[in-house]
Chains A and B, each alone.
Chain A
Amino acid sequence: MAARPASLLILLVLAAPALVGLAGTMVLASGQLFDATVALPAFVLWATLLSVWTGFAATLLALAISFAILAAFGGRAARLLSPVAAVPHAALGLALAFLISPSGWIIRALGFDTPPDVALLHDPYGFGLILGLVIKEVPFLLIIAAAALPRLPMPLADAVKTGRMLGRSDGTTWIFGILPMLFPLIRLPVLIVLAYSLTVVDMALILGPSNPPTLAVLTLRVAQSPDIAALAPAARLALVQGLLVIGAIGFLLAAARLIRTILNRAVLAGRMTGLVSRSIIPMGRLLIMVLLGLGVLSAAALILWSFAARWSFPDLLPTAFSARAWRAGSDIGPALITTLSLGVVSALVSIVLVSALLEWRDRTRGPSGETLAAISALPLILPQAAFLFGLQVLMLRAGLRPGFGAVLFTHLAIVLPYTMLCFAGPWSALDPRLLKQAASLGASPSRVFYKVKLPLLTTPILSVLAIAFSVSVAQYLTTLMAGAGRVSTLTTEAVALSSGSDRRIAAAFGLMQAALPLAGFALALSAPRLIWRHRKGMLA
Chain B
Amino acid sequence: MTLKFLLATLALIPSAALADDWQNVLDRAKGQTVYWFAWGGDQRTNDFIAHVSTLTEACCDVTIEQVKLDDTAVAVNRVLAEKTAGQTEGGAVDMIWINGPNFLAMKSQDLLHGPFAADLPNAKYLDLSKGSAAATDFTVPTDGYESAWRLARFVFQYDTARLDRPPMNMKGLPAWAAAHPGRLTHPVVTNFMGATFLKQALVSLTEDPAVLQSAPTDETYAEVTAPLWAWYDALRPNLWHDGQQWPENASIMEQMLNDGEIDVSMAFDPAAAAAAIQQGLLPATVKTYALEGGMIGNISFVAIPFNASHVDGAKVVANMLLDPKVQAHAQDINVLGSWSVLDPAKLSPDDAAAFAALPTAPALPTLDDLGPTLSEPHPDWMTRITDDFVKRYGG
Contacts and interface: CB of A to CB of B under 8 A. Distances in A.
**Bound together:** yes
Interface of A: 39-40, 43, 101-103, 114-115, 117-119, 122, 124, 209-212, 221, 223-228, 230-231, 308-310, 312-314, 320, 322, 324, 328, 331, 392-393, 396-397, 401-403, 484-486, 488, 496, 499-503, 505
B240 A224 contact: no
Nearest to A499: B248
B280 interface: yes
Given A226-B77, A501-B276, 4 more contacts: A230-B77, A397-B86, A499-B70, A499-B249
B87 interface: yes
Interface in B178-196: 181-183, 188, 190
Contact of A231 (B67, B80, B92, B255): B80
A146 to B, nearest CB: 39
Contact of A393 (B85, B93, B190): B85
Contact of B101 (A226, A309, A393): A226
Contacts of A484: 67, 78, 92-93
A115 B40 contact: no
Contact of B74 (A102, A310, A485): A485
A114 B69 contact: no
B217 to A, nearest CB: 20
A211 B245 contact: yes
Interface in B279-315: 279-281, 283
B246 A211 contact: yes
B78 A500 contact: no
A324 B279 contact: yes
Contacts of A224: 71, 73-74, 77
A207 to B, nearest CB: 13
Contacts of B121: none
Contacts of B90: 401
Band of interface residues on B: 35 or more
B37 interface: yes
Instruction: Describe A's contact surface by its main secondary structure.
Output: loop
Contacts of A501: 41, 251-252, 254-255, 258, 276, 281
A499 B251 contact: yes
Contact of B81 (A115, A320, A392, A401): A392
A499 B252 contact: yes
B2 interface: no
B123 interface: no
Contacts of A119: 241, 244-245
Interface of B: 35, 37, 40-41, 43, 46, 65, 67-78, 80-82, 84-87, 90, 92-93, 101-102, 105, 109, 181-183, 188, 190, 240-241, 244-246, 248-249, 251-252, 254-256, 258-261, 276, 279-281, 283, 390-391, 394-395
B303 to A, nearest CB: 14
Contacts of A103: 256, 259-261
A124 B260 contact: no
A405 to B, nearest CB: 13
27 contacts: A103-B256, A103-B261, A117-B183, A124-B244, A210-B188, A210-B245, A210-B248, A225-B73, A226-B72, A227-B105, A228-B77, A308-B280, A310-B280, A310-B283, A312-B259, A312-B260, A313-B259, A324-B280, A393-B81, A393-B84, A393-B85, A402-B78, A485-B69, A485-B75, A496-B70, A500-B252, A502-B281
Nearest to B83: A228
Q: Which 10 A-B pairs have the closest CB atoms?
A: A117-B182, A103-B259, A501-B251, A226-B73, A396-B85, A501-B254, A313-B260, A500-B251, A309-B280, A115-B261
Contacts of A102: 261
A294 B319 CA distance: 52
Contact of A320 (B35, B80, B280): B280
A402 B73 contact: no
A325 B45 CA distance: 16
Nearest to A480: B74
Contacts, number: 144
Given A103-B261, A228-B77, A500-B41, A396 B281 contact: no
A533 B35 CA distance: 50
A393 B84 CA distance: 8
Contacts of A209: 245
A55 B241 CA distance: 25
Contacts of B77: 223-226, 228, 230-231
B307 to A, nearest CB: 11
Contacts of B78: 402, 484-485
A119 B67 CA distance: 32
A403 B72 CA distance: 19
A124 B71 contact: no
A396 B43 contact: no
A470 to B, nearest CB: 25
Contacts of B70: 496, 499
Given A228-B80, A502-B43, A211 B35 contact: no
A219 B263 CA distance: 33
Contact of B105 (A114, A226, A502, A505): A226
Contact of A228 (B67, B72, B105, B395): B105
Counting chain B CB atoms within 10 Å of each CB, the highest count among A115, A211, A231, A320 belongs to: A211
Nearest to A114: B260
A502 B279 contact: yes
Nearest to A120: B241
B181 to A, nearest CB: 7
A223 B78 CA distance: 10
A115 B260 contact: yes
Nearest to A113: B260
B395 A211 contact: yes
A397 B260 CA distance: 50
Counting chain B CB atoms within 10 Å of each CB, the highest count among A118, A226, A331, A402 belongs to: A226
Contacts of B390: 39
B284 to A, nearest CB: 9
A481 B19 CA distance: 41
Contact of B87 (A308, A309, A313, A396): A396
Contacts of A43: 394
A365 B181 CA distance: 71
Contacts of B245: 119, 122, 124, 209-211
A117 B241 contact: yes
B260 A211 contact: no
B391 A40 contact: yes
A1 to B, nearest CB: 40
B61 to A, nearest CB: 21
A177 to B, nearest CB: 47
Contacts of B261: 102-103, 115, 117, 313
B133 to A, nearest CB: 23
Contact of B190 (A225, A331, A500): A225
Contacts of A488: 68
Nearest to B87: A396
A224 B67 CA distance: 15
Nearest to A402: B92
Counting chain A CB atoms within 10 Å of each CB, the highest count among B37, B68, B259 belongs to: B259
Contact of B109 (A221, A228, A324, A505): A228
A222 B337 CA distance: 34
A312 B82 CA distance: 45
Nearest to A33: B84
Contacts of A401: 90, 92
A124 B242 CA distance: 12
Nearest to B391: A40
B68 A496 contact: yes
A312 B258 contact: yes
B70 to A, nearest CB: 6
Nearest to A403: B92
A485 B36 CA distance: 11
Counting chain A CB atoms within 10 Å of each CB, the highest count among B87, B279, B395 belongs to: B279
Contacts of B188: 210-211
